[in-house]
């Protein structure tokens, strides 16, 4: 009987210890990875050039972001509806490819950049015409003039305030999309970079200096041009007033109960968040899983059961005549035989 109780005690102790170690080794937290959205606008260009003698169409272009090249990026090339495969940009952001010169007629080549976690998607297209065999190189015609329009808000503007510049880029009635626009302001020597959207619109904000204001400021908007559209530049002016001085805070007065609450006029200008604003994604901590809670409860319950069973097994038991308590030591008196 004594050997059986010892065996049961060690078996329960080993089981409880195994459960406790299992609960201890299971990780208590799990980190959830949140993908980052791309934050920088990329600009892609493409130029098609035909060689009638070699019967070859060469495609070249660049991939940049903020005026800086994007090396090692994959560019997919397409002629009309036929894929020409992929190429990779070099250290200067340039790429190249070639294919057989297409038949006589009008064709379209497209370069596409899929983007990644840092740079956004970009694409560029060029339409060209292959003439009769005598002049089979792509036709080169001067693109129509590019027109820049812009608005300065507010006008006049106070020194130390924010000047918003919005405008658009058109060429021959067609919006100039996915193109870089350089914007500068002579008051404070401020500069900004804008990128036109699918409608040819661009925008930028300038925080003007609070002192040394001129009577007026000049904003210059420049487009360098590309293989599709000609270059253009425009200047726009706005009057400048002195910086507003903070007024003393008047002593508050209690309005009568029947006073009608004031309502902001409908013409109040809302604050416009610039399109270049970025969003910061937090990486929240993951909650404790149900599996971890269950393992914790099982571990505590196993330790408690071990203690109870140990007490019941060793607190009191019948001894045979001449048997001693403990492991070789006499911890109690001999039980009187019945």
Tell me the pLDDT tens digit for each residue of 67-86: 899 999 999 999 988 899 99
Domain end marker among 221, 241, 261? 241
Q: Are residues 53 and 105 in the same domain?
A: yes
**Number of structural domains the chain divides into:** 3
Domain with 64 in it: what CATH number?
2.60.40.10
288 pLDDT above the threshold of 90:
no
Q: Among 13-27, 57-71, 87-101, 195-209, which stretch is predicted with the lowest mean pLDDT? A: 13-27
Between CA 156 and CA 215 the distance in angstroms is 10
Q: Are residues 110 and 130 in the same domain?
A: yes
Percent of the chain past pLDDT 90, that is, above it, reads 33
Tell me the pLDDT tens digit for each residue of 162-191: 999 999 999 888 999 999 999 999 998 899
Give the model's pLDDT for residue 24. Answer: 64
Give the model's pLDDT for residue 298. Answer: 73
Tell me the pLDDT tens digit for each residue of 226-263: 888 999 999 999 999 987 666 555 556 555 555 554 44
Tell me the pLDDT tens digit for each residue of 184-228: 999 988 999 999 999 999 999 999 998 887 999 999 999 998 888
* Domain-embedded: residue 117: yes
* Domain-embedded: residue 332: no
Give the model's pLDDT for residue 181. Answer: 94
Tell me the pLDDT tens digit for each residue of 326-338: 544 444 444 444 4
Neighbours of 306 (CB within 10 A): 19
C-alpha separations of 55 from 52, 77, 100 in Å: 5, 18, 6
Q: Are residues 121 and 168 in the same domain?
A: no
* Domain-embedded: residue 257: no
296 pLDDT above the threshold of 60:
yes
102 pLDDT above the threshold of 70:
yes
CA dihedral 204, 208, 213, 215 (to 10 degrees): 30
Give the model's pLDDT for residue 322. Answer: 59
For residue 11, the enclosing domain spans 2-28+289-314
Give me Rg for the CA atoms of the chain.
Answer: 39
* Domain-embedded: residue 52: yes
* Domain-embedded: residue 84: yes
Between CA 59 and CA 110 the distance in angstroms is 10
Residue pair 181/222 in contact by the 8 Å Cβ criterion: yes
* Domain-embedded: residue 36: no
Q: Are residues 47 and 122 in the same domain?
A: yes
Neighbours of 223 (CB within 10 A): 24
* Domain-embedded: residue 282: no
Q: Are residues 89 and 162 in the same domain?
A: no
Domain end marker among 241, 269, 303? 241
Tell me the pLDDT tens digit for each residue of 119-163: 989 888 998 888 776 545 555 666 788 999 999 999 899 999 999
Domain end marker among 72, 107, 135? 135
Q: Are residues 118 and 153 in the same domain?
A: no
Q: Are residues 207 and 226 in the same domain?
A: yes
Q: Are residues 63 and 11 in the same domain?
A: no
* Domain-embedded: residue 221: yes
Q: Are residues 130 and 152 in the same domain?
A: no
């Amino acid at each position: 009987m004594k050997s059986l109780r010892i065996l049961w005690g060690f078996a329960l102790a080993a089981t409880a210890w195994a459960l406790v170690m299992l609960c201890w080794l299971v990780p208590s937290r799990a980190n959830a990875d949140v993908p980052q959205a791309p934050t920088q606008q990329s600009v892609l260009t493409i130029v098609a050039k035909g060689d009638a003698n070699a019967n070859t169409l060469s495609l070249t272009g660049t991939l940049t972001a903020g005026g800086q090249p994007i090396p090692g990026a994959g560019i997919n090339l397409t002629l009309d509806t036929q894929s020409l495969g992929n190429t990779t940009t070099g250290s200067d952001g340039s790429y190249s490819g070639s294919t057989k010169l297409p038949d006589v007629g009008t064709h379209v080549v497209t370069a596409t950049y899929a983007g990644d976690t840092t740079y956004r998607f970009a694409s560029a297209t060029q339409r060209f015409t292959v003439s009769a065999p005598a002049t089979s190189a792509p036709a080169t015609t001067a693109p129509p003039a590019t027109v820049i329009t812009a608005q300065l808000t507010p006008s006049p503007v106070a020194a130390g305030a924010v000047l918003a510049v919005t405008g658009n880029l058109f060429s021959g009635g067609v919006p100039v999309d996915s193109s870089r626009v350089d914007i500068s302001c002579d008051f404070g020597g401020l500069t900004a970079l804008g990128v036109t959207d699918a409608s040819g619109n661009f925008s930028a904000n300038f925080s003007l200096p609070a002192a040394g204001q001129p009577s007026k400021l000049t904003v210059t908007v420049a487009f360098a041009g590309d293989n599709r559209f000609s270059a253009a530049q425009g200047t726009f002016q706005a009057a400048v007033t002195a910086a507003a001085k903070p007024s003393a805070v008047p002593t508050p007065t209690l309005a009568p109960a029947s006073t009608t609450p004031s309502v902001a006029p409908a013409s109040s200008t809302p604050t416009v968040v610039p399109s270049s604003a970025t969003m910061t994604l937090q990486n929240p901590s993951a909650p404790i899983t149900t599996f971890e809670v269950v393992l914790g409860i099982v571990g505590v319950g196993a330790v408690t059961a071990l203690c109870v069973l140990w007490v019941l097994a060793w607190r009191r038991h019948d001894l045979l005549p001449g048997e001693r308590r403990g492991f070789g030591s006499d911890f109690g008196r001999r039980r009187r035989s019945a």
